Chains A and B, each alone.
Chain A
């Protein structure tokens, strides 16, 4: 083992001498672009309507925090789109990201703006299917459709960074490269071997260099330190937010919590931190005033599995409108997005970069890695911390990785006597009735267990 490490170090040293290669897509066989630009206004309208329909339900929740008002507005494109357009006019670069692996600290340090463009919008799927295979997950199709229609925020991106976290994402990168500049970010298949860490560290270093070239700004020690500190502050606030959700008196719905988290995908970093801090203060006050949103005996659910993304909250709406509350999730589009801060031991450039690389690799519970143990640890810990009554496994159809991990998760949760429901669905509305029956039955099952009823 030790020998292997020495060997790899040697190899990487050599590689460094050769100069690290920037990965991208050659324009050897460029294809003609497909555009559905004419649908832009129509789709934008539908997008806003879908969001409004969610909000209508969410705003009816009693004792809802007043500080949600900011989040209720900011997703409506107009204000934030204008800000980002101004940022671009002033020469700023906007970088679209997928998944949970792209170091935002580096992007901010280069003076660029990261926006996560994973999408949860049904309407853009059909258009994307003209190009992408039908049998791939809705998230990829929906996100690609945003580019074809030129809807924000994808339409505002100067380039896109796609981690190689599943087969769909890998190929999406190449297809997208006909439309705009795409940088693949290559992930190792394991997280904790020294080879993997070293490999990933090199990826991060190349990424830094490319960002500097793109922006014309050198990522200096002080700029990076400042970016790390800013993101760290956001994470601290998020931790407080997460902690509040552990309260046995439910203070915030799962829908509100996820909306807050997902606004961070595109919002101004400082403003988001400030607004969420205020929200936390209000929620803390509400604990003292005993202002719960649902009865304390409401079944407490933990969501795991494939990401749920605004405005596709159909599943969350069903759960919470039928008497459950989502108090936690393990989604990469939820808690995982903001939970882990960069931890610095020593403030020197090399160490900072290492810490960044580690933050985006080690805590990940994405099923793209060969082992699922960390995810199961995380689940069991959350079941304890959040006093969970039942786990719901949200499975986006055609997401094989989450499908494959289900068996093990089920066996472990069964062993621990934790009720589990799997829902296989996509972004369409056609299975709502079936989902309702399953969710309602699951809630009845939990209630009868909790209160010996029925």
Chain B
């Protein structure tokens, strides 16, 4: 394969989220590399780092990329992208591509750092409705991040830790700031950390479920975003919605993957025209 042909096959999807920037690189619809980097205050730098990391894995350079689609909160911060797409469209695309062993995906729930969203798909996998959380951080990954600090538990361990609970505490606040003070007062009352945590997971799941109900979700629910790695949320969400939920292997890369899939479609569409 000569280099021009090789280039035309390889595309990237870049998902600039509010916490993490994710990159997926595809060659003829096969994922060949993935990487991420914290977005922090400089989305451009995060894109550069994540992209370099991913490209290094497969010994490629940016010049080898035939098409780049950017998405996510910082989708317009990338100057060298060929097309901008919203995370809704990209997410639906990625979820549809990965599918679920539990049956056809009809609802996608994404739990990101700063927003949560629910996308409804029809039998053909097309987006027919979607809803996103309002502007505050209730029901998002950030909420859990704050609680992890307050309870002094590693963010990655939150889900497992919450499963230890036998007697979940009822948390009333959904506002991140109010919930934090509620948690502090529960600690003072000597409530067990796992019970507080289970309560917090329940609150967040309820918030997402409320959002989901607005679009009357159907089975199978595909749950992704960084938040989907948390087993506690998945369990609580299943309970709340009463629907089967599938979490893919690497839930935080689904949107970047979707963007990359769109990149490969656009590359071919452009080649044809």
Contact = CB atoms under 8 A, between A and B. Distances in A.
Nearest to B93: A454
Contacts, number: 44
Of the candidates A433, A440, A441, the one having the most CB atoms from chain B within 10 angstroms of its own CB is A441
Contacts of A441: 86-89, 127, 130
Contacts of B129: 414, 419-420
A77 interface: no
Contacts of B87: 437, 441
Interface in B111-170: 115, 126-130, 132, 134-135
B85 interface: yes
Contacts of B135: 430-431, 434
A441 B89 CA distance: 6
Nearest to A407: B214
Given A434-B135, A437-B132, A445-B130, A454 B85 contact: yes
B89 A438 contact: no
A306 to B, nearest CB: 17
Contacts of A431: 135
Interface residues of B, number: 18
Contacts of A438: 132
Contacts of A449: 126
Contacts of A444: 85-86, 88-89, 127
13 contacts: A414-B129, A419-B128, A419-B129, A424-B134, A431-B135, A437-B88, A444-B89, A444-B127, A445-B88, A445-B89, A445-B128, A448-B126, A454-B265
B32 to A, nearest CB: 22
Interface in B252-268: 262, 265
A399 to B, nearest CB: 16
B97 interface: no
4 nearest A-B residue pairs (beta carbon): A441-B88, A441-B86, A444-B89, A440-B86
A143 B126 CA distance: 43
Contacts of B89: 441, 444-445, 448, 454
A183 to B, nearest CB: 39
Contacts of A440: 86
A84 B4 CA distance: 70
Interface string B21-37: 00000000000000000
Interface of A: 414, 419-420, 424, 430-431, 433-434, 437-438, 440-441, 444-445, 448-449, 454
Contact of B262 (A424, A437, A454): A454
Contact of A448 (B115, B127, B130, B132): B127
Q: Do most interface residues of chain A lie in helix, strand or loop, or is the interface mixed?
A: helix
Nearest to B216: A414
Contacts of A434: 115, 132, 135
A394 to B, nearest CB: 16
B128 A433 contact: no
Contacts of B134: 424
B225 to A, nearest CB: 15
A448 B89 CA distance: 9
A454 B124 CA distance: 12
A448 B86 CA distance: 13
A7 to B, nearest CB: 46
Contacts of A414: 129
Contacts of A437: 73, 86-88, 132
Nearest to A445: B127
Contacts of B130: 441, 445
Interface string B65-89: 0000000010000000000011111
Contacts of A419: 128-129
Interface string B90-109: 00010000000000000000
Nearest to B119: A441
B267 to A, nearest CB: 14
Contacts of B132: 434, 437-438
Of the candidates A419, A420, A437, A440, the one having the most CB atoms from chain B within 10 angstroms of its own CB is A437
Given A441-B88, A441-B127, A454-B265, 18 more contacts: A414-B129, A419-B128, A420-B129, A430-B135, A431-B135, A433-B73, A437-B73, A437-B88, A438-B132, A440-B86, A441-B87, A441-B89, A441-B130, A444-B86, A445-B89, A449-B126, A454-B89, A454-B93
Contacts of A420: 129
A428 B147 CA distance: 30
Nearest to A424: B134
B38 to A, nearest CB: 20
Of the candidates B85, B132, B135, the one having the most CB atoms from chain A within 10 angstroms of its own CB is B135
A248 B130 CA distance: 27
A449 B127 CA distance: 9
A138 to B, nearest CB: 16
Contacts of A424: 134
B127 to A, nearest CB: 5
A431 B262 CA distance: 28
Contacts of B93: 454
A437 B93 CA distance: 16
A225 B127 CA distance: 54
Contacts of B126: 445, 448-449
Nearest to B114: A434
A406 to B, nearest CB: 10
Nearest to B84: A440
B120 to A, nearest CB: 10
A281 B135 CA distance: 45
A447 B216 CA distance: 23
Contacts of A454: 85, 89, 93, 262, 265
A440 B73 CA distance: 12
A414 B129 CA distance: 10
Contacts of B127: 441, 444-445, 448
A431 B135 CA distance: 7
Nearest to B89: A444
B189 to A, nearest CB: 33
Nearest to A454: B89
B62 to A, nearest CB: 24
